Chains A and B, each alone.
Chain A
Amino acid sequence: MLLSTRNLTKTFPGTKALDSVDFDLKAGEVHSLLGENGAGKSTLIKCLTGAYRRDSGDILFEGEPISPQSTLEAQEIGIGTVYQEVNLLPNLTVAENLTLGHQPRRFGMISPRAMQAQAEEMLAGYGVDVDVRRSLDTYSVAVQQIVAIARAVHLSGRVLILDEPTASLDSREVRMLFDVIGDLRKRGLGIIFISHFLDQVFEISDTLTVLRNGCHIATRPAAEVDRMELITLMLGHELDEEKPDRGLSSEVEGTGDAIRFKGIGRRGKIAPFDLTVHKGEVIGMAGLLGSGRTESAEVLFGATPADSGTVEDANGAVDLRNPRNAIAAGFAFAPEDRKTDGIIAELSVRENIILALQARRGWARPIPQAEQMRMADEYIERLDIRTPDAEKPVGLLSGGNQQKVILARWLATNPRFLILDEPTRGIDVGAHAEILRLIEDVVAQGMSILVISSELDELIAVSHRVIVVRDRHHVSELTGADVTTETIVRAIAAPDAEAVA
């Protein structure tokens, strides 16, 4: 075995990111690592490459225990990594990127000719036609990826980790990259491949390992798994789960209060789609990571303004050019990445809760202090936010409580349409249930909700209907009795011929 982990465990405050994971990589195989956001793929990679220190467990390289303290040390041991955002320097030339740190020198000075020769030699066999004297950013991401791979292979040469390398490549470029990966496999490297494009995973992999919620779920030869089974493993539903009561959609259909989106989309993000949101309705949105579900939400909220389509409600056209206008129209959006897009870490719980309402009222009409206190206390109690007091900086709370603060922020604006992108990701079970209960609560009061989630059980439990997104298109809409894990998985799994388009 080239690289193994035994009982690898890593805990972050509030979550167990890896829970005694065993993983084995053989020389000469491409081993895909699968799982939704928060499954533990990244944490596993970061433990392997020394970016994180594990809490317990062992990492074995050719049977010898190792514990790299940094990516550089991992590289020296023989483990190289290439990330989706290419970790090279775009402002240097290709040759400089390839040779940085070990440029050939003559009398203490870099010899450009020798450096070019060395760079060209490193790139030979990768089938790319590159002028190594040009700066890296003049080349496509695909070429940059290959340059990064060439550097990683040159420096480490035993294990190559590819983290979402195809995310921004077109089909021709993916082909080019796969040829390179195939060659490296023949040369005996062990390759760990991470991608959310299942077609690509099936095409390139010898072995598949599925992680979910930090646990190792399954490892199988790729030839013995089909798409349905794989998605089922990744999303982890129990097929015998009975679907809860739904079917309100026909009942609310008639009201004139609907918000109608017609043909709205954004080039390169999400293909134009129609959506009608009725009062008091929960719309679920399912799809794998990178399918365009977050992009749909951002277009609906004006965070990424749509470049086509119209939006109207009972009062006429709705302007969604930016989040401010969307909020004025009664929209609200709890984003997927709480840390960068949601919380204002150093502001207190109280300030975070009143922020959206205050922004809508404008700076000149401050919410009175007493009113702020009352609102903070009200939501802390109503959403059971665990904080010593309302003045604690929100950055110090756990993920679940931060999420509740963001929900409180939007509920305080009393929106009519609330968009929740992965509202329960990375939070503990208790908070999880509370957030679902809250959704039911506010819908009963007439609010409309769009929920994006990778957890199908959860989606089915709360949604009146479910939209399935695949390859940046809204591919199907399931209503009533059609909303089952099986139909959703089937819609997600439909062979995606244009997966790499």
Chain B
Amino acid sequence: MTGARVLRRVAPQLLTLGAVILLVSVYFPDFYQIVYANDRLVGIPIDVVKRGAPVALLAIGMTLVIATRGIDLSVGAVMAICGATAAWSIDQGFGLWAALGLAGAAGLVCGLWNGILVAFFGIQPIVATLILMVAGRGVAQLITGGTILTFDNEAFAFLGSGAVFGVPVPTLAWILTGILFGLLVRRTALGLLIESIGINLRASTLTGINSRVLLLAVYMGSGFCAALAGIIATADIRGADANNAGLWLELDAILAVVIGGNSLLGGRFSILASLLGAMIIQTINTGILLAGFPPEFNLVIKAVLVIIILVLQSPRLLPRLGFIRLRRERDEKPSGTPVEAGK
């Protein structure tokens, strides 16, 4: 995609983000202030891009899953599992790299499990990933032994609270992961193939696309992103909380993807737009805190946001708002060729 086309694709998200920032800065004029202190950037925008890291990371994997016409409800629980794995490894004295490796592997295994249920058992994604959503937290507690497993490892904690050239590590993590996944899907043919199976699985299979392996890979990618999010969340609080790590973040991640203008019915996707969606959510979260509203408002605003997006994306309501010709085309299309009812 050329720059102009990317810009056009993410324009609604950029405008929304701009509007939200504007709104917040009305209540809190100091919003834009960023200072460099103690070898790191400090300021509200920095806070937003740091705290938004887990949702942004999850949204990257979720975007791909949703593009295949699936959904991954388990990412919050997988975060907890991977965080617990990392904390446990550190606790056992395996060292930083082993902890990262094990946590990443745990995420991949969780993704593999979901992928097998979806691609090989043919279970609906929402049903298949529900199993791990329910059981995953139990598994995480099993690893931590039911306590909040704290550890003392500066190298690992750096991943949550450190900064490189003044930029918080979590921020770097989601930006780099976003770029990595973006390159992976757009510089190879993966993106096209994923979109293809999301739009028409049967035709794609008949065209020679290996849809099963692709589905496995996509769910494993989502598990891997959840592992990164889990590592960062764990490093940030220097402990693994199996009960609360990533709690309800799957919903925020789905919301970020939907705000990013990606259709829940699969097909065309934009990781960049999902990341902007994640930042919109985080700006609202932070903004509400800053504006002195109780954080409770957060949920109501999110709800209103979801409803607005639903109305905008609705296949049934849009036409009534004046796009009547668009609707007629849509109605005629499926019956466009005189195909006999029975084959």
Interface size class on chain A is 35 or more
Q: Which residue of A lies closest to B333 (CB)?
A: A395
Q: Which residues of A contact B336 (CB under 8 A)?
A: 12-14, 339, 399
In the complex with contacts A13-B332, A341-B206, A355-B207, A363-B338 CB distance below 8 A: no
Q: Is B116 an interface residue (CB 8 A)?
A: no
Q: Is A40 an interface residue (CB 8 A)?
A: yes
Q: Is A380 an interface residue (CB 8 A)?
A: no
Checking B207, B268, B338, B340 against A12 with a beta-carbon cut-off of 8 angstroms, the contacting residue is B338
Q: Which residue of B lies closest to A328 (CB)?
A: B208
Q: Is B335 an interface residue (CB 8 A)?
A: yes
**Are A167 and B342 in touch, CB under 8 angstroms?**
yes
In the complex with contacts A342-B203, A358-B192, A365-B189, A52-B209 CB distance below 8 A: no
In residues 246-265 of chain B, which contact A (Cβ within 8 Å)? none
**Are A37 and B339 in touch, CB under 8 angstroms?**
yes
**Are A337 and B340 in touch, CB under 8 angstroms?**
no
Q: Which residues of B contact A361 (CB under 8 A)?
A: 189
Q: Which residue of B lies closest to A195 (CB)?
A: B342
Q: Is B187 an interface residue (CB 8 A)?
A: yes
Q: Is A97 an interface residue (CB 8 A)?
A: no
Q: Is B314 an interface residue (CB 8 A)?
A: no
In residues 179-205 of chain B, which contact A (Cβ within 8 Å)? 187-190, 192-193, 195-196, 199-200, 202-205
In the bound complex, CA of A164 to CA of B267 (Å): 35
**Are B339 and A426 in touch, CB under 8 angstroms?**
yes
Q: Which residue of A lies closest to B265 (CB)?
A: A346
**Are A358 and B268 in touch, CB under 8 angstroms?**
no
Contact mask A36-72 → B, CB, 8 Å, 1/0? 0110111101000000100000000000000000000
Contact mask A4-42 → B, CB, 8 Å, 1/0? 000000001111010000000000000000000110111
In the bound complex, CA of A395 to CA of B200 (Å): 12
In residues 308-343 of chain B, which contact A (Cβ within 8 Å)? 332-343
In residues 76-125 of chain A, which contact B (Cβ within 8 Å)? 83-85
Q: Is A351 an interface residue (CB 8 A)?
A: yes
In the bound complex, CA of A362 to CA of B189 (Å): 8
Q: Is B147 an interface residue (CB 8 A)?
A: no
Q: Which residues of A contact B334 (CB under 8 A)?
A: 339
**Are A355 and B196 in touch, CB under 8 angstroms?**
yes
Q: Is B210 an interface residue (CB 8 A)?
A: yes
**Are B196 and A347 in touch, CB under 8 angstroms?**
yes
Q: Which residues of B contact A333 (CB under 8 A)?
A: 206
Q: Which residues of A contact B203 (CB under 8 A)?
A: 340-344
Checking B188, B193, B267, B338 against A426 with a beta-carbon cut-off of 8 angstroms, the contacting residue is B338
**Are A324 and B192 in touch, CB under 8 angstroms?**
no
Q: Is A311 an interface residue (CB 8 A)?
A: no
Q: Which residue of A lies closest to B334 (CB)?
A: A339
Q: Distance in Å from the Cβ of B188 to the closest Cβ of chain A?
A: 5
Q: Which residues of B contact A43 (CB under 8 A)?
A: 338
Checking A341, A355, A364 against B202 with a beta-carbon cut-off of 8 angstroms, the contacting residue is A341
Q: Which residues of A contact B199 (CB under 8 A)?
A: 344-347
In the complex with contacts A83-B341, A339-B337, A323-B200 CB distance below 8 A: no
**Are B339 and A337 in touch, CB under 8 angstroms?**
yes
Checking A40, A290, A335 against B206 with a beta-carbon cut-off of 8 angstroms, the contacting residue is A335
Q: Which residues of B contact A322 (CB under 8 A)?
A: 205
In the complex with contacts A356-B208, A359-B209, A367-B189, A83-B342 CB distance below 8 A: yes
**Are B202 and A38 in touch, CB under 8 angstroms?**
no
**Are A42 and B188 in touch, CB under 8 angstroms?**
no
Q: Which residue of B lies closest to A413 (CB)?
A: B208
In the bound complex, CA of A333 to CA of B202 (Å): 13
Checking B190, B338, B341 against A40 with a beta-carbon cut-off of 8 angstroms, the contacting residue is B338
**Are B188 and A364 in touch, CB under 8 angstroms?**
yes
Q: Distance in Å from the Cβ of A240 to the closest Cβ of chain B?
A: 29
In the complex with contacts A37-B340, A52-B335, A344-B196 CB distance below 8 A: yes
In the complex with contacts A41-B340, A84-B342, A346-B268 CB distance below 8 A: yes
Q: Which residue of B lies closest to A194 (CB)?
A: B342
Max chain A C-beta neighbours (<10 A), residue from B192, B196, B338 = B338
In residues 388-425 of chain A, which contact B (Cβ within 8 Å)? 395, 399, 409
**Are A366 and B187 in touch, CB under 8 angstroms?**
yes
In the complex with contacts A356-B207, A358-B192, A365-B189, A343-B200 CB distance below 8 A: yes
Checking B195, B200, B342 against A164 with a beta-carbon cut-off of 8 angstroms, the contacting residue is B342
Q: Which residues of A contact B193 (CB under 8 A)?
A: 358-359, 363
**Are A345 and B338 in touch, CB under 8 angstroms?**
no
**Are B337 and A164 in touch, CB under 8 angstroms?**
no
**Are A38 and B338 in touch, CB under 8 angstroms?**
yes
In residues 306-352 of chain A, which contact B (Cβ within 8 Å)? 322-324, 327-328, 333, 335-347, 351
In the bound complex, CA of A40 to CA of B340 (Å): 8
**Are A163 and B341 in touch, CB under 8 angstroms?**
yes
**Are B207 and A42 in touch, CB under 8 angstroms?**
no
Max chain B C-beta neighbours (<10 A), residue from A14, A52, A322, A336 = A322
**Are A42 and B340 in touch, CB under 8 angstroms?**
yes
In the bound complex, CA of A399 to CA of B337 (Å): 7
**Are B209 and A337 in touch, CB under 8 angstroms?**
no
Q: Which residue of A lies closest to B205 (CB)?
A: A323
Q: Distance in Å from the Cβ of B177 to the closest Cβ of chain A?
A: 19
Q: Which residue of B lies closest to A326 (CB)?
A: B208
Q: Which residues of A contact B338 (CB under 8 A)?
A: 12, 15, 17, 38, 40, 42-43, 214, 426
In the bound complex, CA of A360 to CA of B195 (Å): 17
Q: Distance in Å from the Cβ of B191 to the closest Cβ of chain A?
A: 9
Checking B187, B195, B206, B343 against A323 with a beta-carbon cut-off of 8 angstroms, the contacting residue is B206
Q: Which residues of B contact A167 (CB under 8 A)?
A: 342
Q: Distance in Å from the Cβ of B336 to the closest Cβ of chain A?
A: 5
In the bound complex, CA of A106 to CA of B332 (Å): 44
Contact mask B199-224 → A, CB, 8 Å, 1/0? 11011111111100010000000000
Q: Which residue of A lies closest to B195 (CB)?
A: A347
**Are A363 and B208 in touch, CB under 8 angstroms?**
no
Checking B189, B200, B206, B342 against A358 with a beta-carbon cut-off of 8 angstroms, the contacting residue is B189
Q: Distance in Å from the Cβ of B291 to the closest Cβ of chain A?
A: 40
Sampled A-B contacts (14; CB under 8 Å): A12-B335, A38-B339, A43-B338, A84-B341, A84-B342, A323-B205, A333-B206, A339-B334, A343-B203, A344-B195, A344-B203, A346-B268, A359-B208, A363-B188
User: Interface residues, chain A, CB within 8 Å of chain B?
Assistant: 12-15, 17, 37-38, 40-43, 45, 52, 83-85, 163-164, 167, 214, 289-290, 294, 301, 303, 322-324, 327-328, 333, 335-347, 351, 355-356, 358-367, 395, 399, 409, 426
Which A-B residue pairs are the 5 nearest by beta carbons? A164-B342, A327-B208, A84-B342, A359-B208, A17-B338
- Further pairs besides A38-B337, A344-B204: 9, Cβ < 8 Å: A17-B338, A43-B338, A164-B342, A167-B342, A355-B192, A356-B207, A366-B187, A399-B336, A409-B207
